[in-house]
Structure 1
């Protein structure tokens, strides 16, 4: 049985306990800086692909300076995986000082160079990730930098990744833009299809938001309490970070407290059917 399958099946146990006593929960299972890297002597690599391989190996072994040197060589040679890895490194400050501008630049290189007429299928997941990252940076902007908030561009990036790659993060971000009225009018009905698509892929935040909307109803969307409890249970089971995921836990607690016994029993049936379809 895969880890994912085990995780989702655990939701049945979680819900079953909650259906009997909603207040009782089964808890879910729980280098060198950039300047030094820039000053490091440049090694000779036969090809950008060889530099990419060396960079990933060096990073895995904890040699950040050599890894970044190799990845920069590979990125300059047009290797999207090197560009993506550098973007993630600078976005998180993993072995270097965090630098969102550099991260944005590397993600943008992937977006600009993507050839939709002859795509490399092996690189599609990182291309989708880059589109979403550029969308997030465009939506929020980068303080004290040239990147200003641009909701229209963010919408374009999310729409492309959601439609062409079926990316769950892009679908969730599109839904949030419609829910929050970011660059568009607030409209839960526009958000709902994107939330469903992302939730069906196991996107935890989308499951929680979908459950919240369906439980209370919104903007002409009728309440579907049992269906909502199913999504909230799946999200609650995956909420393993007590700080970051507290809002999900709170949504689940409130919904289970307000639900009827009939709602809970029907939700358990929905949950069983959902897990059968998934696995």
Structure 2
């Protein structure tokens, strides 16, 4: 799994019976899914609300995302926060291997992010300690890659914790191995620079190469990654470049199938209409 960055409106959640819900709720969710991907977001919201009220995790997560982004509804961070909070309140201790675990872990990351910044004109004020606790839980219990990235960034910058580059690198590595692009880039930069952790120019350039190629494939903003890669490449010796490229190519081959599947919107849309 490639973490929250690759999480979409999981078709599996809309096409099979869930322990939380009856057949009618599942049918409603399937129709809402079809409506969403066909562009009828008003109809999708109606169905999602009905499914969410019946406690379906995928519906609660999707509504949270829609309100957070203003996707088919007026942007409303407080409503998004409420949907995510309902989801984690009901399913926060579910097994990490459960079908709904990706939605649950993503909801934790969303709530943690809101506590990190606060929500304007609401009772949700910035609380970095609470954000760190939430990210730690999602990163450790669910192994969520985006939570691991955010937690690593807090340790790197000393936000809510004592600055600890080694701990930051540890979390970045866990997320990088799952394919989290920004974690790959951050870890690569740390290894190349070597001013906060032990330098390793070969593995640093390897991770930056992987991050750049994956960013291009995923249409991820790659300006910063490209600049870091170019700097690392210019500083590396010919032997270091050769070794780094070989390692990156092998990693990409070993992980290509899972990454391609995770980012294939065509596959996701086709699955929702089964």
Q: TM-score range by the shorter chain?
A: 0.7 to 0.9
What does residue 183 of structure 1 align with?
Answer: 160
1:205 matched to 2:214? The reply is no
Q: Deviations over 1:50-78 (max 9, x none)?
A: 33222222222222222212211211111
CA 1:115 to 1:207, structure 2 compared with 1: closer, same or farther past 3 Å?
closer
Report the aligned-residue RMSD. 2.4
Q: Deviations over 1:222-264 (max 9, x none)?
A: 2100110100101111233889321111111111112121221
Paired residue for 1:228, among 204, 210, 220?
204
> Displacement, 1:275?
4.1
Q: Distance in 1 between matches of 2:109 and 2:206?
A: 28
Paired residue for 1:247, among 215, 221, 224?
224
Q: Distance in 2 between matches of 1:278 and 1:243?
A: 18
Q: Deviations over 1:105-143 (max 9, x none)?
A: 111111111152668811111111111111111111122
What does residue 48 of structure 2 align with?
Answer: 71
What does residue 26 of structure 2 align with?
Answer: 49
What does residue 143 of structure 2 align with?
Answer: 166
1:60 matched to 2:46? The reply is no
Q: CA contact under 8 A between 2:210 and 2:252: conserved in structure 1?
A: no
Q: Distance in 2 between matches of 1:191 and 1:264?
A: 25
Paired residue for 2:245, among 260, 268, 273?
268
> Displacement, 1:196?
0.7
What does residue 22 of structure 1 align with?
Answer: none
Q: Distance in 2 between matches of 1:170 and 1:86?
A: 20
TM-score by length of 1: 0.77
Unaligned stretches of 5+ residues in structure 1:
5-44
What does residue 18 of structure 2 align with?
Answer: none
CA 1:138 to 1:214, structure 2 compared with 1: closer, same or farther past 3 Å?
same
Unaligned stretches of 5+ residues in structure 2:
3-21, 257-274
Q: Distance in 1 between matches of 2:214 and 2:207?
A: 11
Q: CA contact under 8 A between 1:188 and 1:218: conserved in structure 2?
A: no
> Displacement, 1:48?
3.0
> Displacement, 1:183?
0.5
CA 1:245 to 1:145, structure 2 compared with 1: closer, same or farther past 3 Å?
farther
Q: Deviations over 1:132-184 (max 9, x none)?
A: 11111111112222211111111111111111111111111110010111101
Q: CA contact under 8 A between 2:156 and 2:165: conserved in structure 1?
A: yes
1:108 matched to 2:85? The reply is yes
1:166 match: secondary structure: coil
CA 1:245 to 1:143, structure 2 compared with 1: closer, same or farther past 3 Å?
farther
TM-score by length of 2: 0.79
CA 1:116 to 1:222, structure 2 compared with 1: closer, same or farther past 3 Å?
same
Q: Distance in 2 between matches of 1:120 and 1:185?
A: 32
Q: CA contact under 8 A between 2:57 and 2:87: conserved in structure 1?
A: yes
Q: Distance in 1 between matches of 2:194 and 2:111?
A: 32
Q: CA contact under 8 A between 2:95 and 2:101: conserved in structure 1?
A: no
